[in-house]
Amino acid sequence: MRTVEISSNGLRTKRRKQKGAALVALLALFGLVVAACGGDDDSSASTETTTSDTTETTASAEPVTLRLGYFGNTTHAPALVGIESGLFEEALGDNVTLEAKPFKAGPEVVEAIFSGGLDASFIGPNPAINAYAQSDGTAIRIVSGTASGGAYLVVQPEIGGPEDLAGKKIASPQLGNTQDVALRTWLKDQGYETDTTGGGDVSVVPQENAQTLETFQAKAIDGAWVPEPWATRLVEEGGGKILVDERDLWPDGRYVTTHLIVTTEFLDAHPDIVQQLIAGLADSIEKIESDPDAAGQDVAAGIEAATGKPIKPELVDATFANVEFTLDPIASSLRTSASNAEALGLLDPVDLDGIYDLEAVNAVLQERNEEAVSDS
């Protein structure tokens, strides 16, 4: 039986079946016996089997913990489905312990990665760019896409258009996160100035999404640029209306909202586990497409666990139509997001060559007879 523990810091840990733990213990004991019998090989975690013309390296037999970050949003639905339904654990196997921790916005994830607290995370493009830039290209790699679309500017019903936003207060999830950059870029295109302290022609106020719903309902803010399901909740529960669908601002309506990043340290040490995680991600996307009702239950449970705010599964199910779930990282939109952040003064110029490592995702796609994705 699979158990779930939620500690005081919000860490959500899924333990493997007891028989899996027993198997690991037996394998470890077997390894000690072999070592005791002597030999002239070292204690490396991997073993090599050599034939007359090939050398094969097998994956580590030692237990591994994968610390994975995610957000309580529909744009992270494949992550939530993978965690709640056990699809990630199934794909990772008995030798990997999954520790999944919710975050409120991307910059917090970057801090956790830099402090050594995470191995991988689902995240938006701009925080991933920041992590790459701040580490001089050494900290992380984008290994797969997850979602496209699903972000909106929702405003109070009395606001008729962009011309009515002067002097208004608009929320974004966090300074420098993906929706924050999108909002500030759009406002700039409308002729408005903003700054990082909430001043300017339009005041941009960073708030976590669950708080934004409350402040919008109380009319303490005039609008918010937020991902699903929060955009739909602002409309359905807050009486707001959609002013901007971000899909309308991108070629063919496609842009990366969420992708999967992995620390280079973990990727170098465990490329097999990264590929298994992406295989579980593909399974989660398939479940959303084939059984949206069950997936909606998973996502609703995941959002409540991550934010402490319950949400109706049928509302989650309705937001699926606003998001494209895909393993394609839509790399061209990442570079546009970087340019936008640079123009706003939120990012120094950065060379993004090397930010992608798509070997694992393309291996998963090949196994499924699907077209490979590109880093351009």
- φ and ψ at 101, to 5 degrees? -125, 130
**How many beta carbons lie within 10 A of that of residue 336, not counting itself?**
17
pLDDT at position 105 is 87
Using alpha carbons, select from 157, 46, 106 the residue that is nearest to residue 346.
Answer: 106
Decide the pairing of beta strands 241-245 and 151-155: antiparallel
219-238 residue pLDDT tens: 999 999 999 999 999 999 99
92-123 residue pLDDT tens: 999 999 999 999 888 899 999 999 999 999 99
Report DSSP letters for 61-80, one per residue. Answer: -S-EEEEEEEESSGGGHHHH
Fold equal for 64-150+254-367 and 151-252: yes
**How many beta carbons lie within 10 A of that of residue 48, not counting itself?**
10
Positive or negative, the CA dihedral 130, 337, 83, 263 is negative
Report DSSP letters for 251-270, one per residue. Answer: GGG--EEEEEEEEHHHHHH-
Q: Are 178 and 124 in contact (CB under 8 A)?
A: yes
Query: Rounded CA gap, 223 and 252, in Å?
Result: 26
Q: For helices 292-307 and 271-290, what crossing angle results, to 10°?
A: 120
Structure tokens at 171: 């929320």
Residue position matching structure tokens 């013309």? 53
* The pLDDT of residue 35 is above 70: no
- Residue of higher predicted confidence among 8 and 81: 81
Residue position matching structure tokens 């309580």? 72
Domain segments of the chain: what residues? 64-150+254-367, 151-252
Superfamily of domain 151-252 in CATH is Periplasmic binding protein-like II (3.40.190.10)
Query: Rounded CA gap, 71 and 179, in Å?
Result: 14
Single pTM value for the model: 0.82
164-174 residue pLDDT tens: 999 999 999 99
pLDDT at position 60 is 52
Q: Does domain 64-150+254-367 have CATH number 3.40.47.10?
A: no
Long-range residue pairs from 22-27, CB within 8 A, at least 24 positions apart, any chain: 23/94, 24/63, 24/94, 24/95, 27/61
Question: What is the arithmetic mean of pLDDT over 305-328?
Answer: 94
Helices marked H in 291-358: 292-307, 313-319, 331-343
